[in-house]
Amino acid sequence: MLEAALFLYTESRRLTKGVASRFGLTGPQLAVIKMLEPVGRLSLSELSERIRARNSTVTGIIDRMEREGLVRRRRSSEDRRVVHIELTDAGSKLARKIPVEPFQIFRQVLGELSARDAADLKRILMRLAKRVQQIVSDADEKSAVPNASADDGAK
């Protein structure tokens, strides 16, 4: 079972990297372009959540894509704190050239599962994801650096 999970992970990364490099993109840039293409725009937070990355990481990706003329930032008219990311004309044109986003392959395969198998798989994967998050969170807490201001008082 671990071998199957590793195969899916490595194959996904290999496919993404291969497709992205053919279009002069990185894997995360490809993911951003293909996520924005059907919806038009997403907030930075929504984008971060969808690609499972921190806002600071996504900000760096968007900075590079903005410099390359692929995306633009727009402040929300409803809430000035919210920044929406959208494709430029050049970004949209590039998105249309990319025939398939690698995760579509996995979506297709998952779509071929019976409803019961899909529900079982989702339930199991969600349980595993929650447990991994818990383990990572616990490890982060154990390795946290003590508050620097508390150390200053000891000197």
pLDDT tens-place string over residues 43-98: 999 999 988 888 889 999 999 999 999 999 999 888 888 899 999 999 999 999 98
Residue 106, pLDDT > 80, answer no
- The residue that leads in pLDDT, 12 or 146, is 12
Which amino acid makes up residue 55?
N
Rounded distance, CA 77 to CA 81, Å?
Answer: 9
Please, what is the average pLDDT of the chain? 86
Separation of CA 134 from chain center: 20
Under 8 Å between Cβ of 27 and 46: no
Query: Cα 17–104–14 angle (5° rounding)?
Result: 20
In this prediction, residues 31-39 reach a mean pLDDT of 90
User: Could you give the CA distance from residue 15 to residue 30 in angstroms, rounded to a whole number?
Assistant: 11
100 vs 3, more confident: 3
